[in-house]
Amino acid sequence: MIKLYNRLGLALLLVIPAAWGNTPAENLAEAVRFKTISFQDRAQIDYQQFDALNSFLTETYPRVFSQLQVESVSEYSWLIRWPGTDETLSPILFTAHTDVVPVEPGTEGDWSHPAFAGIVADGRVYGRGTLDDKQGVISLLEAAEQLLAEGYQPTREIVFAFGHDEEISGLQGAGVIAQRMKALGLEFDWMVDEGGLVLLDSPVLPGKSLAMINVAEKGYLTLTLTAQGAGGHSSSPPRVSTIGSLSNALAKIEANPFAPKLEEPVRTFLETLAPHVDQPNQFLFNNLWLTDWLVASQMAKETLTQPMVRTTTALTMFNAGVKENVIPQRAEAKVNFRLLPNDTPEDVIAAIEAIIDDPSITVSHDRWNQRPGIADMQGSGFEVISAAIQSVYPDAVIVPSLLQATTDTRHYVDLARNQYRFHGTQMKPEQTASIHGTDEYISIASLEKTVAVAAAMLRLGGAR
Ligand SMILES: [Zn+2]
């Protein structure tokens, strides 16, 4: 009997928060209050915060966590399966992550509201993770909870994967979830991760909404350049020092950026945009067979559009010397590249070695990850996401696009034939700077639309 009471008590505890009907904004604000911060040095991570967030999610979305097949992976990540009625159809996957980046020390006071207070004010939810990516987790769970309450039953299996370390490579979260999926024999028709959004009033489409479904992402490569030479006393210096030769190599690299070029999916992005823009852009975008070189070189001149048309080069680290009167025997620098979808790391290394043209400089690199390819811009996944967007943002111009950052998506390369990146969040271009920056917030209206898009994607994706 006591056991029964306990169970009843537990059941009530689980049901009450849903019965109270907290709004998505209140739930997101609460989720922000758990400091699930990923630090590069894993020893600094407070895993109790992840446990507490997970307990909160379990209590807040009782239908999801009791009616679906829930597995915790690597202790803090989630793999959640919602079986479909037709087992012959391959499942679809929706992913997001629960960890956030730290607030840069010294910038805490620049926030309108403390970054982890979870403040709801002025029609907005403020805090670290409100855009990246707790709104992704919350909106998918809100949508699933809502559909379960309605008695919705998918025809095609729906799977959710919520990693806990996306901001520091995702190896323990998405990486281990992917291994578990392989062991389970899961193969997805398509998947949707974070990384696409609805831009309001963007420079390419002033006054309108631009829904960007990212069908590809840029590659990531860091090269380490090392110069070695004779050291010694600074009173009798060599003709060329290690610092001098390395600086010379870096100056050549910076002076020789990769040539701009117009490739997929950016070509289709511009062609899709063409009917909605003014002249002369309309003509230029409609005739890329003739104008692509001109469009690429124009886009390369703007900071905002440059990454879409070239493999970018960023000099990020330089280390040499220990004392002002000692010639260093070794100087080392790091250069970070973001690759266009068709450029390979081998291409970049060969090009950089040719530019440096100095046998005394050694070029090395870490092992690179598998890269997602370009997803089908007409396939059923793209159609489902587009229809979901249309149902919530009837006036939005929907385009396939290229994500400039990287996400957890690469961990699922072998598992999903087509990988898309999109959350139905609407924002102005300026607001994107708050992601990993200061004053991150989501408007309540935008969060509600994100939930509506998530629900439409689940409903439409699960139906066929
Ligand atoms: Zn993220």
CATH class of 2-195+405-463: alpha beta
Between the CA of 166 and the centroid of ligand 1 the distance, in Å, is 7
Between the CA of 387 and the centroid of ligand 1 the distance, in Å, is 24
Confidence band (pLDDT; 50, 70, 90) for 122?
very high
Q: Identify which of 53, 81, 212, 199 has the alpha carbon closest to the alpha carbon of residue 137.
A: 53
Confidence band (pLDDT; 50, 70, 90) for 11?
very low
Between the CA of 279 and the centroid of ligand 1 the distance, in Å, is 36
Summarize pLDDT for 107-120 with one digit per residue, the tens: 999 999 999 999 99
Asked if pLDDT for residue 19 goes beyond 80, the answer is no
Average pLDDT, stretch 34-46? 95
CA distances (Å), origin 430, targets 23, 52, 201, 307? 27, 33, 10, 17
Between the CA of 154 and the centroid of ligand 1 the distance, in Å, is 27
Between the CA of 164 and the centroid of ligand 1 the distance, in Å, is 10
Asked if pLDDT for residue 100 goes beyond 80, the answer is yes
Asked if pLDDT for residue 306 goes beyond 50, the answer is yes
Confidence band (pLDDT; 50, 70, 90) for 20?
low
Residue 191 confidence (pLDDT): 97
State the pTM of this model.
0.89
Average pLDDT, stretch 63-68? 98
Residue 202 confidence (pLDDT): 87
Average pLDDT, stretch 390-402? 97
CATH architecture of 216-365: 2-Layer Sandwich (3.30)
Asked if pLDDT for residue 372 goes beyond 90, the answer is no
Average pLDDT, stretch 180-207? 94
Between the CA of 307 and the centroid of ligand 1 the distance, in Å, is 19
Confidence band (pLDDT; 50, 70, 90) for 135?
very high
Between the CA of 448 and the centroid of ligand 1 the distance, in Å, is 19
Asked if pLDDT for residue 203 goes beyond 90, the answer is no
Confidence band (pLDDT; 50, 70, 90) for 304?
confident
Average pLDDT, stretch 343-366? 94
Provide the residue ranges of all domains of the chain, joining segments of one domain with +: 2-195+405-463, 216-365
Average pLDDT, stretch 295-306? 92
Between the CA of 97 and the centroid of ligand 1 the distance, in Å, is 7
Between the CA of 67 and the centroid of ligand 1 the distance, in Å, is 28
Q: How far apart are CA 270 and CA 164, in angstroms?
A: 35
Between the CA of 215 and the centroid of ligand 1 the distance, in Å, is 16
User: Which comes out higher in pLDDT, residue 406 or 396?
Assistant: 396
Average pLDDT, stretch 351-367? 93
Active site residue 150: no
Summarize pLDDT for 222-274 with one digit per residue, the tens: 999 999 998 888 888 889 999 999 999 999 999 999 999 999 999 999 999 99
Asked if pLDDT for residue 131 goes beyond 70, the answer is yes
Active site residue 46: no
Summarize pLDDT for 148-158 with one digit per residue, the tens: 999 999 999 99
Between the CA of 440 and the centroid of ligand 1 the distance, in Å, is 13
pLDDT above 90 coverage of the chain, percent: 86
Q: Identify which of 224, 218, 221, 220 has the alpha carbon closest to the alpha carbon of residue 250.
A: 224
Residue 21 confidence (pLDDT): 65
The reply to whether omega before 154 is within 30° of 0 (cis) is no
- Catalytic site residue from 30, 99, 132, 448: 99
- Catalytic site residue from 133, 142, 166, 448: 166
Residue 5 confidence (pLDDT): 42
Summarize pLDDT for 418-447 with one digit per residue, the tens: 999 999 999 998 898 899 999 999 999 999
